[in-house]
Amino acid sequence: MKNNEMINLIKRRRSIRNFKEEQLKEDELNQILECAIYAPTGCYNQPWHFTIIQNKDVLNKMSEISNEEMSKSDDKWLSNKGKKNKPLFFNAPTVVVVSGKEDAYSPLTDCSAAIENMLLAAESLDIGSLWCGLVSHFFERKEVEVLNIPEGYKPYYAIALGYKDGETPEPLERRRDIFTYII
Ligand SMILES: Cc1cc2nc3c(=O)[nH]c(=O)nc-3n(C[C@H](O)[C@H](O)[C@H](O)COP(=O)(O)O)c2cc1C
């Protein structure tokens, strides 16, 4: 099987949940954001908006409120998770909220493509990243106003970014029974 840096990188990337406190360098963050906007988009809509948050008070509030909402859930797993009140972003120093333009052709898909580009760009710079979906509970609350999301855009996900504290874990096993070939 052929081996190249891009393929190795894709297979090496892991969700990181241990971050150093040190902030990312500006040019590293800019490179990651630049890669986000080179993702493909339906009808070339580019229907996204990126909110870069480095304010600890805001990040703590987002985490706290999400956990509070989760703890009220009927879903046992979710409510237990919320009650533990663990920091949602694992103290990453930078979090990027990705929002999609609601009337675009395929905003959620386009934003997800941008997110994957960010995760891979981060890994290429040896920067840790985590795709955070649980923050959606914060997006439902009025306190989301603090993010100043532009009118017509819906926040979907947050991406935690920071220098890894410790070794990158080994890749998780992947299912292999998911391919159908029509020859
Ligand atoms: C849509 C989406 C939402 C996710 N939300 C969270 C989250 O809120 N918290 C978390 O710790 N990991 C979250 N993850 C990370 C997954 O748990 C992780 O990607 C998966 O377990 C596979 O591990 P890997 O990324 O290291 O390969 C999310 C991943 C995706 C794609």
pLDDT given for residue 2 in this prediction: 73
Q: Which of 128, 147, 152, 130 is nearest to 53 (CA)?
A: 147
pLDDT for 111-143, tens place per residue? 999 999 999 999 999 999 999 999 999 999 999
- Distances 86 to 51, 122, 135 between C-alpha atoms, Å: 22, 24, 12
pTM listed for this prediction = 0.97
According to DSSP, residue 15 is labeled B
CA angle 30–86–19, rounded 5-degree value:
35
What is the residue with the minimal CA distance to atom 2 of ligand 1? 133
pLDDT given for residue 3 in this prediction: 80
Mutate to test the pocket of ligand 1, among 9, 13, 14, 15 (most ligand atoms within 8 A of CB): 15
Q: Which parts of the chain sit beneath pLDDT 50?
A: none
User: What span, in angstroms and rounded, lies between the C-alpha atoms of 45 and 110?
Assistant: 9
User: What span, in angstroms and rounded, lies between the C-alpha atoms of 104 and 16?
Assistant: 31
pLDDT given for residue 176 in this prediction: 97
What is the residue with the minimal CA distance to atom 31 of ligand 1? 131
Pairing of β 127-132 and β 94-101? unpaired
Q: What stretches of the chain show up as alpha helix (H) in DSSP?
A: 5-12, 26-36, 56-71, 76-84, 107-124, 136-139
Residue 112 Cβ inside 6 Å of ligand 1? The answer reads no
pLDDT given for residue 108 in this prediction: 98
